Structure 1
Amino acid sequence: MTDAIVIRPTRVFKMGAIRLADPDPTLAPAEAVKLYEKAYPHLAHAELGDPQLIGEELHFPIKTHDVKTKG
């Protein structure tokens, strides 16, 4: 019998061209992104897209809503 090696992919949060490292791998993805809200306030209303495995990284796209103005 051979030993199986399990590799846990590194989570990366993508916001356009910006890559955000996973601040706490023990948290759920949505909770981990909330830790970035102080630096990126618009993340308070953002949603995570479906993750995509690229190499040894699991990329989560961050979908932000367009800013609307009255006028």
Structure 2
Amino acid sequence: SANAILRFCLKVMGQPANDMVLGTSMYKSGYRATMFSRSDRGICWMAGEGDDPRIVASAFVDAVAAEQVV
């Protein structure tokens, strides 16, 4: 949807799901979340920040660790 400014796509199984998350024709353009394996936990394509999508990694931060960051 046009309301989704930032799009994050973890592993998906095929082109339709890939394009539903990242946007129309992203799979055809080479941005394929199908390339990630099941062991690539927290790794995804991020689209909407900058000109081109990029591969990013996330991490779990619990409440205690979040307090240390602030």
Q: TM-score, normalised by structure 1?
A: 0.28
Using CA pairs under 8 Å that are at least 6 residues apart, name the structure with larger relative contact order, 1 or 2.
1
Larger Rg: 1
Tell me the TM-score normalized by structure 2: 0.28
